[in-house]
Amino acid sequence: MTPRDDPRDDTDESSGTNLPAPEEHTMALSAPALPALLRARVAVYGLFLLAGMAIGTWTSRIPAIKADLRLSDGALSLGLLGIAAGAITGMQVVGRLVDRYGSYRIMLPMAVAQGLVLVVPAYMPGLPALALSLFAFGAVNGTLDVAMNANAVVVERASGKSMMSSFHAVFSVGGFAGASAGGMFAHAGMSPGVTFAAMGAVIMIIALLSARWAMRDVPAREAARAGSPDAGPARRRVGGGVLLLGVLAFCCMIGEGAAADWGSVYLRDSLGSSPGFAAAAYAAFSIMMTAGRFAGDRLAAWLGPVTLVRCCGALAGAGLAAGIVAGDPVAGVVGFGLFGAGLSCIIPQVFSAAGHRDPAQSGRALAAVASLGYTGFLAGPVLIGGLAEAVTLPHALLVPAVLALFVAFTAPVMRSRRPEPTSGPPSEPASEPMSGPAPGRRSEPARD
C-alpha cells in the first residue's frame, strides 16, 4: 500500500475523487466558515451517537421486556421482526423525501422522534402491541439512518475531506454507551420504562443541540431551479453502479450479522472454549471495527477509497479464514478481530460513494444501499445457520470470508467522480452551502 505519488495528477485511479489543493481549500474557507464546518460536523456526530444509543439501550433491556410480557423465544423473535420490517419500510420511503426536501428537514424530526419511540415498547401490554411499537421504532431508525448519512455526505462535500468512517465509529460508540447505560439501569433494579424514558430524554436533548449546528442542504428540485452545478438530470431510479455498491454492502453486512450471532457459538461449541472466553470473539470483532473506523478517514485520504476497500476486504477475508482453519480458540478470536478490522472501513466508504455518485438523488442511492445492507445483516445469521446444518459451522463461517474477498476483488466499483468541495461553506450552521465548485487542481484531501 503506497500513498498517491503526485497530488497534482489530473486523474486519481485509486479514488476517482476531485478535491482542491490544500492551500486553495484553505483560501476558499474564510475564518468564520471554518467554525461553521466544524459545528456541522459535530452535529452529524451527535446524530450518529444518538442513533447508536437508541439501538444499544433497546437491546440491553430485551430480556426484561421478554420477562415482563412472559414471551417465549419464538414469540419474542416474531416481535423483533417488527424492527426489521419498520427499518426496511422507512428506508424505502425516505430516499425520495431526502431528495425532495433535503436531509436537514428529514433527519432532525426523526432524531427527536427516536427518543420518543424508544419509550413506547416498555408500556405495551402484549405481543401484537409490542410488534407495532417496534415497527415504529425501526421505521424511525431506518429513516434517520438514511437521512443522517445523506447529511454526512453534504458535510463531506462542503469540507473536501473524508469523514464517513469517523461518523460510523461514533455510531458504534453510541451503541456501547446505550448498552452500558441500560445495563446500569438494570443493575439498579430500574424498569425498562424508566430506562427508556431517561435515555429517550438524553437522545432528544442531543437531537435538539444538533439541530442548532446542522448544515442545511439544498433539495435537488430547488438546486435544479437555481441552476446549481450539483443538480443533475432527474431520474426515477438509481443506476446500476449504486446497485453494485448495494451488493458490496450486502456482502459485508452478512459478515457483520454472522459475527454477531455465530462467533461466540463457534468458539464454544466447535472449539470447546469456556462461555466467558467464547464471548471474546464478538468483543474482538466490535473493538477492532470501532478502532478501524476511527482510523478510516486518514486511511481513505492516504490510499483512496478503491485501494482502501481492496485492502480491507483482503484483510477481513484472509484473517477470518486463517482463524477458522487454525482451529484454535485464540486463533479464532484473532481471526474475528481481523475480520472486524477489515470490514470496519468498507461500509462507510460504500455509503460515501453512493451519496456522492449523483447529488440529485443522493437520498435514493443511500436508501438503496442501506436497504440491501440491512437485508444482508438480517439474512447473514440465517444463512450461516442453514449451512451449518448442511455442513459444519466452521465451514459455514468461511462464507463471510469468501464474500469479503469478493468485495476486495470488486473494489473498483468504488471509483466514481465525486463533486468538488463547495467554494464556501455556510457562515451560519443552518444556512445553505454555496453551490459553486471551487477551482483548483486535484490534490489529496486535507488531513484531520
The pLDDT, as a whole number, for residue 220 is: 61
Partners of residue 20 on adjacent β-strands: none
CA distance 168 to 318: 24
SS3 of residue 238 by DSSP: coil
The pLDDT, as a whole number, for residue 6 is: 44
C-alpha cell at 373: 445492507
Q: CB under 8 Å to 443, separation ≥6 — which residues?
A: 7, 8, 19, 20, 21, 22
How many C-beta atoms surround the C-beta of residue 268 within 10 A?
Answer: 18
CA distance 320 to 401: 6
CA pseudo-torsion sign 418, 424, 426, 427: positive
The pLDDT, as a whole number, for residue 47 is: 96
Q: Using the 8-state DSSP alphabet, how is residue 21 labeled?
A: -
Q: Are 414 and 203 in contact (CB under 8 A)?
A: no
The pLDDT, as a whole number, for residue 148 is: 96
Partners of residue 437 on adjacent β-strands: 422
What angle, rounded to 10 degrees, do the helices at 362-390 and 127-159 form? Answer: 130
The pLDDT, as a whole number, for residue 419 is: 44
Partners of residue 418 on adjacent β-strands: 17
Helices H / strands E in the chain, number of each? 18, 0
CA distance 38 to 332: 41
CA distance 112 to 15: 36
How many C-beta atoms surround the C-beta of residue 5 within 10 A?
Answer: 6
CA distance 431 to 421: 16
CA distances from 268 to 290, 338, 384, 386, 430 (A): 24, 19, 16, 19, 52
The pLDDT, as a whole number, for residue 269 is: 87
End-to-end CA distance of the chain: 20
Q: Going residue by residue through the chain, which has 448 residues, state the pLDDT in tens, using 9 for 90 and above.
A: 444 444 444 444 444 444 444 333 333 334 345 588 899 999 999 999 999 999 999 988 988 999 999 988 888 888 888 999 999 999 989 999 999 999 999 999 999 999 999 999 999 999 999 999 999 999 999 999 999 999 999 999 888 888 999 999 999 999 999 989 998 999 899 999 999 999 999 999 999 999 989 998 877 656 555 555 544 444 556 778 889 999 999 999 999 988 888 888 899 888 888 877 888 888 899 999 999 999 999 999 999 999 999 999 999 999 999 999 998 999 999 999 999 999 999 999 999 999 888 888 888 999 999 999 999 998 888 888 889 888 989 999 999 999 999 999 999 988 754 444 444 444 344 444 433 333 333 334 433 3
Q: How many CA atoms lie within 13 A of 167 on its CB side?
A: 29
The pLDDT, as a whole number, for residue 430 is: 47
Partners of residue 422 on adjacent β-strands: 437
Q: CB under 8 Å to 176, separation ≥6 — which residues?
A: 52, 56, 286, 290
CA distance 299 to 380: 28
CA distance 361 to 434: 18
SS3 of residue 230 by DSSP: coil
The pLDDT, as a whole number, for residue 436 is: 38
CA distance 231 to 245: 22
CA distance 256 to 380: 8
In 3D, which of 345, 341, 351, 356 has the Cα closest to residue 372? 351
pTM of the model: 0.80
